[in-house]
Structure 1
Amino acid sequence: MAIPAPSSQREMRQRNLSRVLYAVAGAGHVSRATVAARIGLTRASVSTLVEELLRAGFLVELGPGRSGGVGRPGNALALTDLGPCGIGAEIGVDHLTVCAVDLRGQVRARQTEEAPNRGASPAAVLDRLGSLVERVTVDAGAAGLRPAGLAVAVPGLVTRSSTTVVRAPNLDWHDTDVAEHLSGPRPLTVDNEANFGALAELWQREADGAPGDFIHVSAEVGIGAAVVLDGELLRGRRGFAGELGHVPVEPDGPDCACGGSGCLEQYAGEAAVLSAAGVETHGAGGRSAALAELRARAERGDPGALAALRRAGRALGIALAAAVNLLDPRAVVLGGALAGLAPWLLPALEAELQRRTAAPGAVPELAVSVIGSEGPSLGAAHSVVRTVLSDPLPYAAAR
């Protein structure tokens, strides 16, 4: 997507400061000369921008380091591990997670609480989440960090550019404004957990030099998906794009919490797979223990576990074939709990894609996320960090 030309001197300065920060972020440790070469500005211009960012506390100098060219080594630059940080939170059906991520992308504080959230009032859940946010904020402060904002991932539909959860079937939330009940840093951003998970995957793939063109699928109790095309998250008119879990794979199948029947979640959601495999979900250790038991049974070749995972893989393949035919992505990425079960899901999934994909040639690359279940909270926190990197001036002024 083309970046519009800056309309003022301030916008030009903000854009160039941001370009320098992203260049340093992408390299880790880098010289002024290398930054200038990467962003296409003169060394003198970059040096002026760097000095401003050093004074504002966004960059630090690490001492002499080679830039890869000839001549004397310059002082290596790096993003600071102090100052602004992103606070990211995830509301799951049976857990809450909050983390703080610094400008270097490192997790500096984390709190997790295992608790059933389905059936609890939104106010009660968000009050407990606010307590976790406060603890993470205190821990981050002790490490020399200050929150630049809070982003929250939820398993439901969120109205675009708002903090309102329109519907979260697996939490039984309807028209809930998170901002009304959640204390903590501002500004506050709320988005679907699959969107934040996909953004975390996108930014990781960009760092690894992989194309930003994929469908990201993740599972908890329900199944979420997000579509990234040409490096951009596809949100839809209202922000509701990506509800793969509610694509029907068996029109006359079991009723779903969304009001439909035969939805993908009823065959490939965590609860459905664990139930089909005969794994107890209410024992000691909760969800994590149940998933570990399912994996252990699959590794032992347990027929019930293997059959449940084959059924889930087939259902995923049917639903994804429709998305692949519609969008023609380069890759399909399995994240969340699906990542750990990929060895037993992928054969049936790939077989369905091979059978149902209309375009000639190979099906999209099938990949497993390296981020796993931490994707939504990390994506949320990194979204705040990227806000700082994209427009550092307000955060410099707050110093």
Structure 2
Amino acid sequence: MTRPVHRVAPATDTPVRQESLRAHNLDLTFRQIVGSRAPISRSELSVATGLTRPTISRIVDELLAGGLIVEAGPARSGNSGRPRVGLSLAPTGPAGLGLDIRVDALTACVVDLTGAVRHLDFTPRFEAPDETLRSLAAMAKAAIDAAAAQGLTVVGATLAAPGPIDENGVVRFAPALGWRDVDAGAALRSRIGAAGLPVVVGNDASLAALGELYASAPELRNFVCVSGEFDIGAGIVLDGTPLRGSRGWSGELGHVMVDSGGPRCACGANGCLQCVAGLREILAAVPVPSPAASPAVAIDELVSAGSPEILTALDRAGTALGTALSALINIIDVDTVLLGGSFSLLASWLTEGIERELNSRVLTAGWAPVEVRPAPLGPDAAVIGAALSAVDRIRRDPNSWLARH
């Protein structure tokens, strides 16, 4: 019996309207300016985009009028003669606001369209969610005012928080904070009080990876950034794109099992990486821990004092991190591990154990070894990445800004 063949009707072509074509060409041109490491001229934009010089001139005029770019000549040129006027991202105009919860402090940060940090503030952290969110909202208001004084308009705020966070900004479970089903997004939106300001909540490890992506050399496009501020998280970047997962819950490396007979974790499972390589768990190996407020600083002080227990705990942590990362890298195939957050401060004592496990467990390590190194932004990566996430939306969709200005 011959089965009938069901043919799919071809998609109906739709005309490209003039406004859509204008927006597309503006996006195309703006991406070239965003991606350029040096001021780029109008003629270079014409060559790069394939658009005519008159079209480029019109788009450039629109971007200049909207405050997204500035003339910052001369552009790079290998030819003699009159230098060409270069174009680059504007240091005034749209900006992003980042908020972060650390072990010993709350942090607020503002970055401009170029990615430069224009405001960075710290205040002591509270234990209760309500007090924490109230303090973060006050810091956000002060940061918005500080940005305005510099000619910047904050277009969005993002809170970096540990643990799984749903699309509405509810922190579902953050055992290190003692939070469960805390609607941080709604609380911040109501308290910041800036009409129409988008406020979102994102996972701190994923946002740290975004910050490190912006801060790193352009050839670093496939990496995992492991952060250990609270729970151990892994922000994954493949081909220059941060991975979030279908619900934004990816990267919970701290709850990968590394020891089936290990202690019970706060998540309810046994033998999680967090139970071996978490900062508090490392400190717990020492009979009399350091009084320093930050666990990373306390560990560093104990190492400097020659504590054999802390050195043993750090080696055990490095081995466990390497075991978990090996499994991850065998699946996703990245070439670099960045030790971020507080792990960046402890890289000297963690790297050897991590590399030992990667070299023995990653299938391709014999001909393509994985590099392990401290992350450039370190503990500031999450708050900078949170601020950059708002700026990133303007970089990807400049028309959304121009439509309002």
User: Structure 1 length normalisation: TM-score?
Assistant: 0.89
Structure 1 partner of 2:6: none
Match for residue 123 of structure 1 among 117, 120, 130: 130
Sort the Cα spacing of 1:237 and 1:79 in 2 relative to 1 into closer, same or farther, 3 A.
closer
Q: Which stretches in structure 2 are left out of the alignment for 5+ residues?
A: 1-13
1:242 correspondence with 2:251: yes
Q: Confirm or deny: 8 A CA contact 2:162 2:230 kept in the other structure.
A: no
Shift of 1:310: 0.5
Q: 2:116 aligns with which of 106, 111, 121?
A: 106
Query: 1:192 is matched with which residue?
Result: 203
| Contact 1:15–1:390 (CA under 8 A) maintained in structure 2 | no
Conserved 8 A contact 1:170-1:221: yes
- 5+ long unaligned stretches in structure 1: none
Name the CA shift for 1:278/1:379 in 2 (closer, same or farther; >3 Å). Answer: farther
C-alpha displacement of 1:337: 1.0
Find the partner of 2:169 among 144, 163, 166: 163
Going from structure 1 to structure 2, the CA distance change for 1:328 and 1:274 (only over 3 Å counts) comes to same
Number of the residue aligned with 1:60: 70
The alignment covers a number of residue pairs equal to 385
Asked if the contact 2:226–2:337 (Cα under 8 Å) also holds between the matched residues in 1, the reply is yes
**Contact 1:28/1:79, CA 8 A, preserved across alignment:** no
C-alpha distance after superposition, 1:209-229 (max 9, x if no partner): 214111211111321112222
What is aligned with 2:106? 96
Structure 1 residue matching 2:24: 3-state secondary structure: helix
* Cα distance change on mapping 1:138 and 1:169 into 2, 3 Å: same
Please say which of residues 254-263 and 174-183 is displaced more in the overlay: 174-183
Aligned residues: percent identity?
39
| CA displacement 1:291-328 (0-9 Å, x = unmatched) | 23422443565422321211110110111111122222
Q: Of 237, 242, 245, which aligns to 1:228?
A: 237
Secondary structure at 1:157's aligned position in 2?
A: coil
Distance in 1 between the 2:106 and 2:122 partners? 6
Q: 1:260 corresponds to which letter in structure 2?
A: A
**1:354 aligns to 2:359 (yes or no):** yes
Letter in structure 2 aligned against 1:336 = G
Matched position secondary structure for 2:30: helix
CA distance in 1, matches of 2:99, 2:282: 26
**Which residue identity does 1:387 align to in structure 2?**
R
Question: TM-score, length-normalised on structure 2?
Answer: 0.88
**Cα RMSD after superposing both structures:** 2.3
Contact 1:197/1:375 (8 A) holds in 2: yes
Structure 2 residue aligned with 1:31: 41
Name the CA distance, whole Å, in 1 between partners of 2:24 and 2:183. 33
**2:152 alignment partner in structure 1:** 145
Deviation at 1:133, TM superposition (A): 0.2
CA distance in 1, matches of 2:78, 2:58: 22
Cα distance in 2 for residues equivalent to 1:92 and 1:65: 42
Give the AA of the match of 1:330: D
Maintained 8 Å contact 2:163/2:231: no
Question: Over residues 34-78 of structure 1, what are the superposed CA-to-partner deviations in whole Å (9 max), with x where a residue is unaligned?
Answer: 333344433332222111111112122235444344542122222
- Quick one: structure 1 residues 230 and 61, their matched pair in 2 at CA, closer, same or farther if it must change by over 3 Å? closer
- Look up the SS of the partner of 2:219 in the other structure: coil
Q: Does 1:19 align with 2:24?
A: no
Q: Determine which of 287, 312, 324 is the counterpart of 1:307.
A: 312
Report the counterpart of residue 393 of structure 1 in structure 2.
399
Helix, strand or coil at the partner of 2:330 = helix
Deviates further, 216-225 or 61-70: 61-70
1:255 aligns with 2:264: yes
Q: Which amino acid aligns with 1:132?
A: M
Partner of 1:179: 185
1:370 pairs with one of 363, 369, 376? 376
Contact 1:277 1:294 in 2 (8 A): no
8 A contact 1:279–1:294 mirrored in 2: no
**Corresponding residue SS for 2:176:** coil
The verdict on how the C-alpha distance between 1:278 and 1:238 changes in structure 2, with shifts beyond 3 A counting, is: same
The equivalent of 1:319 in structure 2 is 324
Shift of 1:21: 3.0
Q: For the residues of structure 2 that align with 1:133 and 1:147, how far apart are their CA atoms? A: 10
In the alignment, the residues of structure 1 paired with residue 50 and residue 139 of structure 2 have an alpha-carbon distance, to the nearest angstrom, of 43
